[in-house]
Amino acid sequence: VVLCKWQSRKMLSIKPHSAFVTTMCPDKQQIWQVLRCLVCLVYFITEFAGAARIINTDYDFNTENAREILRLSKAAEMVNYMRPRMDPCDDFYRYACGNWQEINPARFSDGKTGLFNELKNAYNRRVVRWMRKPKRTSESDMDRKVKYFFESCMNKADLRKNYRQKLLSVLEEFGGMPALKGSLWEAEKFDWLEVVAVILRKYGKQIILGADVFADLTNNEVNRLYLGQLDKLVTPRAADYYVVLAVARQMEMYTVLGMSMQMASKTATEIVDFERRLAEGKIDADRGFGMEDKTQLTLLEVMTDNYKPTINFTHYVNVWLGYPYVLPVYAYVESYINNLRRVIEETPKEIVANYIMWELLQEFRMEVNDSDDKHRNKCVDRTKRFFVKYLDHVIYQQLFTQNQQIFAELPMLWFELKSAFGELLKSEVNNWMSVVTRDKALEKLSAMSMEINSYEQENFEQQYDVLVISTDSYFDNVVNILELQGRNYRLRLLETPKLDVGETLSFSPAYAAEYNRVLIPVSFLQPHFLWDHAYPSTVKYSTMGFVIAHEMAHGFDDIARKYDSRGNLNNWWDRTSIEEFSKRKECLRQQYSGYRYNGRKLPIINAQDENIADNVGLRIAYNAFQRWIRQHSDNSTIMQHERLPNINLSPQQLFFLSLSQVWCTDVNRNWREIIIATDVHPPEEVRVIGMLSNFDEFAKEFDCKPNARMIPKRKCVVY
């Protein structure tokens, strides 16, 4: 049995286990020869996988040799992350991911490492390569605008020219920042509501008061205005977050704006405390409230009467739009609006103004003293922020050209998962649902669609026709982009609703309840990460299949289940089925609050949408895989392909290993409490243990005894 380590950009560890790596060594010299060869082989195989993921090459991965190398690399990668000596029935996460944190430790600046981060980093590398390609005369205007913007961001010499003066000029347009102007700031002229309305009109940036344009809850063919809660605010329960934020803002005000350290400390403390107090009125996602609980359809005049004189909603909206708005609006989270009124009334104008100006400044800031690598990464992020849909479109076209097989098989995988979910809904395990409710569920499932965020139907040339971008003025480019965004945002109220996923969903799959649609980001279709045609089908079903099934299951979780097949809020559940659903939800609620993370039990939260999606998504993906196995069980060649070299696991066992390794993660210890407080998802290790513990097939495949830690006395099953 060989134990070896190799130090490179990753540390590769093969732990002793007879099922994985064995060799016979007659003497010490031969031992070291074998060791060196084995280390090099494993290093080559695993590095080949990484190279295959990130290098844009014409290498033919369809040859038999290439496919075998890909299979070897996948097997080596999976073994590398494992601790195979662990009992899978005791802690399957440690069994599957025990070495991840040694190989991919999370630094403070990273916060977290995991597959999703790797997908994002690989996507960013593709974006950088595309933006740095030599410009050609055949390029579209849109190509040039995006590349010009990136080039302007990378131009440090231009950024340093009058950098601070340019930032201050933005603030002066709205009255300036009291912490900088001192006695020259005119408090009597400051009207916080007027200022944030004008900023929203010009730049499309929401500050303090949310003004969102989305489809109407009960009629998704018209847009409505939602006024109130600003969703980006972080819950006050994340105390560590606000401590870190205050320190960061103090240093930024000192270095960027040239404040004295004393003034920077005072101002940062005041505005962070102001933001924390604003967030006290939020309804956090972990409370499990649906939009029907957080909204009330009303009129602007009624909202103004309720909250005047502090918040004149009529004036705010009319200043923003430039005309009187008389259609109904949604008051969004009454507790936030009430808290906002109180906080504004109790806070000195200077603090409110400092907060508004600092928030506005974030749109224009770009550090000029970072290292080249750090600066490039920030420029990539800023370019994605402003042109995310177009970059997704560009990368989609690249990936489609390079690997059409994944795109061809995705619709078939979707069909198989829908069929498996349909069979699950019809099975005896769901007899708790009434016939009428189950029929409605099947109707909704049948109408559900899937979409890759490729933006093939977008007319980007028309959308950005008036946008002027140059290579030598990053600041002016940002002004032009924000002004275009501000104009387009105002126009959305006059348009029919359309799904606008933004930068967040460029790296995260999602289920859009108002469209009954599963959205798959382009970044997830990069080859060799989740799935490749050279890998066993079990890997396809346990990675990409599970990701899609998880989002599919969201359509029937404790929040989105109230939307009908057309995506309108229309609770189609009868009372008996609701009561039975609530019992199953409560089982998960109690079960997950019993798990420990970072030395303490997880808090009891009402929202169980993510836990429901994990548990149901696992069943959907596994059932689809088992159907595939039954269809191909007579073909020995295909079934032989379902095993990976040097991994002594059955296809079913490999399914659970592959699925679990999607969630291999390391979280920097300084961020763990913040993540617990802010993320509606349980920690990744809890996600793995929770859903596998509730699944009888897992216990069966690994022959787990009834008293094993992975086998709870009471299993929670929703669908």
Give the three-class secondary structure for 580: helix
Please give the torsion angle defined by the CA atoms of residues 36, 39, 43 and 45, in that order, rounded to the nearest 10 degrees: 100
Average pLDDT on 271-297 reads 95
Q: What is the pLDDT of residue 67?
A: 87
Q: What is the 3-state secondary structure (H, E, C) of 653-719?
A: HHHHHHHHHCCCEEECHHHHHHHHHHCCCCCHHHHHHHHHHCCHHHHHHCCCCCCCCCCCCCCCCCC
CA distance 178 to 348: 11
DSSP conformation letters of 151-180: HHHH-HHHHHTTHHHHHHHHHHTTT--HHH
Computed over every residue of the chain, the mean pLDDT equals 90
Q: What is the pLDDT of residue 1?
A: 31
Q: Has residue 505 got a pLDDT over 90? A: no
β-pairing, 449-452 vs 517-520, is parallel
| Unique residue bearing structure tokens 């008293």 | 707
Both structure tokens of 233: 């605010």
Lowest mean pLDDT among 322-336, 563-577, 594-608: 594-608
Average pLDDT on 334-351 reads 98
CA distance 196 to 206: 7
Helix (H) or strand (E) segment spanning residue 356? helix 349-361
Q: What is the pLDDT of residue 45?
A: 44
Q: Has residue 153 got a pLDDT over 70? A: yes
**Domains located in the chain, CATH noted:** 1-124+404-453+501-573+609-676+687-698 (3.40.390.10), 132-402+461-498 (1.10.1380.10)
Q: What is the pLDDT of residue 61?
A: 66
pLDDT digit string, tens, across residues 387-440: 999 999 999 999 999 888 889 999 999 999 999 999 999 999 999 999 999 999
In our burial notation (b when 16+ CB lie closer than 10 A, e otherwise), range 541-556 reads: bbbbbbbbbbbbbbbb
pLDDT digit string, tens, across residues 14-34: 223 333 332 333 343 443 343
Q: What is the pLDDT of residue 40?
A: 43
Task: Decide: 429 and 623 in contact? Cβ < 8 Å.
Answer: no
Q: What is the pLDDT of residue 60?
A: 61
Average pLDDT on 581-606 reads 94
Backbone region of residue 198 per phi and psi (left: phi > 0; alpha: psi in -120 to 50; beta: other values) = alpha
> Which of the given ranges, 156-160, 339-343, 629-633, has the highest pLDDT on average?
339-343
Q: What is the pLDDT of residue 59?
A: 57
CA distance 242 to 262: 19
507 or 226, which is more confident: 226
Helix (H) or strand (E) segment spanning residue 435? helix 435-447
**Residue partners of 652: CB distance under 8 A and separation at least 6:** 538, 626, 629, 697, 701
Q: What is the pLDDT of residue 678?
A: 84
Average pLDDT on 578-584 reads 98
Average pLDDT on 220-245 reads 94
Give the three-class secondary structure for 277: helix
Q: Alpha carbon 78 to chain centroid distance?
A: 24
Q: Has residue 53 got a pLDDT over 80? A: no
Q: What is the pLDDT of residue 47?
A: 46
pLDDT digit string, tens, across residues 601-631: 999 999 999 999 999 999 999 999 999 999 9
User: pTM value?
Assistant: 0.88
- pLDDT band of 155, cuts 50, 70, 90: very high
CA distance 181 to 19: 70
Q: What is the pLDDT of residue 121?
A: 94
Q: Has residue 554 got a pLDDT over 90? A: yes
Q: What is the pLDDT of residue 582?
A: 98
Q: What is the pLDDT of residue 42?
A: 41
